[in-house]
Amino acid sequence: MCKNRNMTSTPVRILDELSHVIRALTRITGGPDDALPLTGTQRLALFELSEAGPTRLNDLAARMGSSAPTASRAIDALVEVGLVQRSPDEHDRRALHLELTEVGRARAAERKERVLEAFRPAVATLPAAEQKQLASLLAQLAAALTE
């Protein structure tokens, strides 16, 4: 990629800037949470389950952008530490639903609050109208990426 931002295409620049934001937030909040450190994949699985609610493994893997075996290893670790539980699917005896336990929901909420604490001061540097515009534009971009 081009070091000179003036010579970089707009999509590349947007992607670069989003990457910088994500990496900065990860550096600020990415250390071990407590006595129960999680890998990036385990954290991703935790947050996807937090957003999706009870789901099947293949659906979770698709949300994570990973293979089913990768998602399964993350879930195994999360089940072992009591953050996720498996329950039978009432419509398909062969299938299992994955869902957060109370501890898992609390852990996801605590982590999100930690990220928000780091993010709020940066967002506050923007005028309110630009904050709303940024939120709208990011929502549009996310929707376009999921189509």
CB 99 within 8 A of CB 49: yes
Residues 74 and 46: their CA atoms lie apart, in Å, by 9
Number of residues that make up the chain: 147
Q: Nearest CA to 97 among 66, 64, 70, 75?
A: 75
- Contacts of residue 81, defined as CB under 8 A and 6 or more positions apart, other chains included, come to 36
Domains and CATH numbers, the chain: 30-146 (1.10.10.10)
What pLDDT shows up at residue 105?
Answer: 95
8-24: average pLDDT: 88
67-94: average pLDDT: 92
120-128: average pLDDT: 94
Q: Is the pLDDT of residue 6 over 80?
A: no
Query: How many other CB atoms sit within 10 Å of the CB of residue 58?
Result: 13
Of 52 and 94, which is predicted with more confidence? 52
Q: Residue type at 137?
A: L
What pLDDT shows up at residue 1?
Answer: 47
Entry pTM: 0.76
